[in-house]
Structure 1
Amino acid sequence: MTFTKTKMMTMLSMLVLFFSFCVLFSSSANGQGPQTAYQVLQDYNLPTGLLPQTVIGHSLNRTDGQFLVNINGGCHIYAAGFQVKYDPTMTAVISKDRLSYIHGVKVKLLFWTRIMSVARFDDEIELRGRFWARWYKVNDFISSAECNKLIRGKLD
């Protein structure tokens, strides 16, 4: 059987394609597929409870830290004694122990106000707005909260 140059190239291409699929499927089977938004938080030493349970997707630019999180329909939660509202899209810049330039998350103090940054200092978390800051224990954010519906300004 003689091999022409075209047949050799075709066989070589098929071999490369086969090995590419093997690598792709073996990394997914070993749990090394795409990370979740919660795993991204953990990679940056932040607790997963900073995001609600209804995250449906995310994107991360590891070069500049741009972090975008899609939340199914937005979300209202009650956490640490306050109402927190997530828009359907939350954006931030993520770095070790910190989320900054946050957009899409508000907390109700006397009125709804934006959470601008979150920082971890050992076993404490600081939530910061324009004119306020609150400190909490990291353990308060260990698990993600379930979303609730607001009815006439109050949570179910």
Structure 2
Amino acid sequence: MPCPSGILLFLILISLPASSFAVADDDNLSAYQALQQYDFPVGILPNGVVGYELNRETGEFSAYLSGACKFDIDSYQLSYESTIKGVISPGRITNLKGVSVKILFFWLNIGEVIHNGDQMEFSVGIASANFPIDNFYESPQCGCGFNCNGLNALASSI
């Protein structure tokens, strides 16, 4: 006797392991929440990510901003293209494309980011720099970084 399709579907669904349903929940995560699942602080991305794609099997990701984004943090100028790509695994981002830093007069592409204990390491090829993870608990704003209050006050007084 053939099994009605609704019952067959129900039997298939209840036989799937619970982990199969966890993937569906990923669609509801923000890019910042996905970063945290890989042991990264939200502040390595600026505010304003409008979407992302993540292949959990390969770690390949793309994050999308509404446009290019530049800002200063301390003595560094950072630039994010509207699309940022790379490969993410717990505590490591490799093959990063779309993020660069200005050092002296030169723009250098940041190719790798490593979370190592209480430090974040950013690599631009043969050179790298470490920063305390505390610096990345908050996401910077495009245009003004972390110094937006003075800029907003100036804009509202004009």
TM-score with structure 1 length normalisation? 0.74
Does residue 93 in structure 1 map to residue 87 in structure 2? yes
Does residue 52 in structure 1 map to residue 53 in structure 2? no
**Partner of 1:145: helix, strand, or coil?**
coil
Task: Report the counterpart of residue 145 of structure 1 in structure 2.
Answer: 140
Contact between 1:80 and 1:140, CA under 8 Å: does it hold in 2? Answer: no
Deviation of 1:38 (Å): 0.3
Q: Distance in 2 between matches of 1:47 and 1:127?
A: 14
Residue identity over aligned pairs, in percent, reads 32
AA paired with 2:43?
G
Mean CA deviation greater in 75-84 or 35-44: 75-84
RMSD of the TM alignment (CA)? 2.4
Q: Distance in 2 between matches of 1:95 and 1:133?
A: 19
**Partner of 2:96: helix, strand, or coil?**
strand
Deviation of 1:68 (Å): 0.4
Q: Distance in 2 between matches of 1:138 and 1:61?
A: 26
Task: Report the counterpart of residue 23 of structure 1 in structure 2.
Answer: none
Task: Report the counterpart of residue 126 of structure 1 in structure 2.
Answer: 121
Task: Give the length in aligned residue pairs.
Answer: 130
Task: Report the counterpart of residue 109 of structure 2 in structure 1.
Answer: 114
- Runs of 5+ unmatched residues, structure 1: 1-8, 17-26, 150-155
Q: Distance in 2 between matches of 1:138 and 1:123?
A: 5
Please tell me whether Structure 1 or Structure 2 has the larger radius of gyration of its CA atoms. Answer: 1
Extract structure 1 runs of 4+ deviating beyond 3 A.
none
Contact between 1:70 and 1:90, CA under 8 Å: does it hold in 2? Answer: yes
Q: Distance in 1 between matches of 2:49 and 2:74?
A: 20
TM-score with structure 2 length normalisation? 0.73
- Runs of 5+ unmatched residues, structure 2: 11-20, 145-150, 152-158
Change (3 A) 1:101 1:32: closer
